[in-house]
Amino acid sequence: MGNKLFVGNLPYSVTQEQLKDMFTSYGEITEALVVMDRLTGRSKGFGFVTFADETACKNAMTEMNGKDVEGKALTVNEARQMGDRPKRSFGGDRHGGSGGGDYGDRPRRSFNNRY
């Protein structure tokens, strides 16, 4: 296990400093990060906490998972690398389009191919 935790289901009002304060009783924290939306500047409702010690990280994960913060039960587990996550499908066809009707053998209409 690493020293980094994923903290999900955070209230949108929680700041990075508050996130750090929630976990300081378990050990030395090297980084606390609340992920923000670039467009709105608002919290996305999750963050990461990195501990200096692996044992402290395990204890914090066990103790904080499911803890109620402002009426929301936190989800706390080991952070994974971006590449380790399962692929997500957003629907559409396998060529990256949004699907649409069945054109059969007829080519799709384009501005250069009118009939």
Alpha helix stretches (DSSP H) within 10-78: 16-23, 54-64
**Residue-level pLDDT at 17:** 97
Dihedral of the CA atoms 63, 68, 69, 71 (nearest 10)?
170
Cβ proximity of 10 and 74 under 8 Å: yes
Q: Indicate the domain borders of the chain.
A: 14-80
Q: How far is CA 75 from CA 28, 92, 96, 108, in A?
A: 21, 31, 33, 46
What pLDDT, on a 0 to 100 scale, did the predictor assign at position 97?
A: 55
Per-residue confidence of the chain (115 residues) as pLDDT tens digits?
Answer: 689 999 999 999 999 999 999 999 999 999 999 999 999 999 999 999 999 999 999 999 999 999 999 999 999 999 998 876 677 777 665 555 555 555 556 666 666 655 5
Per CATH, the homologous superfamily of domain 14-80 is RRM (RNA recognition motif) domain (3.30.70.330)
Contact in structure between 51 and 3 (CB atoms under 8 Å): yes
